[in-house]
Amino acid sequence: MNPRWIPLFVLGLATGTGACRSNDAKLARREVPGAIVQARADLAQGRTEEALELMRAAANTPDLETSQRDEVQGLLEQAAGKRVEELSTGNPDPEELADLVELDLPRQIAVQAGLRAAQLWFADGEALDAYDILKRLDTKFPLHHERAAAGDLLVEIGLWLTVHGTGWFGIGHSTDDAQEVLEYAVLKHPSAARNDEAYETLARIYEDDRDLELAIERLELLVLHHPNSARRVAAQARIPHLRLVALRSPEYDRSQLLAARRELETWLGTHAGHELEREVRVDLGDCLRRMAESDVLIADFYERVGNPHGERYHLERAARSAREAGDEPRARAIEARAGKLPELPAEARP
């Protein structure tokens, strides 16, 4: 009797198509020697899928002797490796490669198959399929040996989707998928090569969506985690700018104004002569004028409640901010109003 018929019958593979994908298929102990012989023959003749299915079933056989189990494991790894090579060349099939990830294969081979599937899908423009298989690798093998390559590819996918993503029913453009992929990449693969660009892109997405708090947070993470990035200087300039954009009401959040002023002055003290210097100086002037406006509004309140000392304190502080902003006419007008009020004690002056 052809030794192939016994294991094929057990596996449900009498047609030799390799259709069985169950991790539970197994052989009886008496069938394993014949399966080993058949698997070697299959490998010699290029029937990698059949050899792989046989050795997966043999590996599930209980109570094998150590030497026999080692032989089965060696053939299993050999068959799986050749199957990955076969599916990766000629007319590569990323879907079949991805299927291998779900099988009970050695980690190194399963990861190799999944990463190759992701690369092929991404090359074909199937970015979300590539993203899904890379997530599956992370879930099944959290510390797999190809994490660096997987992280780099995830960032590439996210950046690609910012340009090529589509809206509802493929119409228009949406960055929702790009946002999801990039957030996943920076969270799960913080050492990816282009994570600084990922943070910058996420900040731009959130800024476009008017979620300025998240935009600021992503730029702060870029600054924190990528001290040597060429994008860091621009991010440091953008953070205080976004703080100012977020403050729409004249009743400004003074803590945010102070934070923006400190960031802008620090930037100017460190990066004088940079191409962004003019924009940063404009933002600093805007910030100082808003600080003056804020103090004038507070002074108005103290005027209404009859507290001349409180009114003068905030007017003097407003005049100083206006002068630092280069708004000399406004500074003189505020000082003229303050001059009509009682002098402040020296220890109470701003």
Least confident of 99-108, 155-164, 316-325: 99-108
Mean pLDDT of 94-113: 90
pLDDT at 15: 33
Q: Are 285 and 257 in contact (CB under 8 A)?
A: no
pLDDT at 175: 86
pLDDT at 265: 97
Q: Are 161 and 181 in contact (CB under 8 A)?
A: yes
For residue 211, name the pLDDT band (cuts at 50, 70, 90).
very high
Q: How far apart are CA 221 and CA 268, in angstroms?
A: 21
Mean pLDDT of 31-49: 92
Q: How far apart are CA 339 and CA 316, in angstroms?
A: 9
Output the DSSP codes for 59-93: HT-TT--HHHHHHHHHHHHHHHHHHHHHHHSSS--
3, pLDDT greater than 60: no
Closest Cα partner for 131 from 81, 176, 86, 84?
Answer: 176
For residue 79, give both structure tokens: 């068959």
Q: How far is CA 166 from CA 84, 211, 249, in A?
A: 32, 21, 35
More confident residue, 4 or 26: 26
Q: Are 110 and 75 in contact (CB under 8 A)?
A: no
233, pLDDT greater than 90: yes
pLDDT tens track for 124-138: 999 999 999 999 999
Q: What is the mean pLDDT of the chain?
A: 89
173, pLDDT greater than 80: no
48, pLDDT greater than 50: yes
**Cα radius of gyration rounded to whole Å, the chain:** 33
227, pLDDT greater than 90: yes
Q: Is 324 exposed, middle or buried (CB count within 10 Å of its CB: 0-12, 13-18, 19+)?
A: middle
Helix and strand numbers, DSSP H then E, in the chain: 16, 0
pLDDT tens track for 250-301: 677 889 999 999 999 999 999 999 999 999 999 999 999 999 999 999 999 9
Question: How many angstroms from the chain centroid is the CA of residue 299?
Answer: 46
pLDDT at 14: 31
Q: How far apart are CA 7 and CA 267, in angstroms?
A: 72
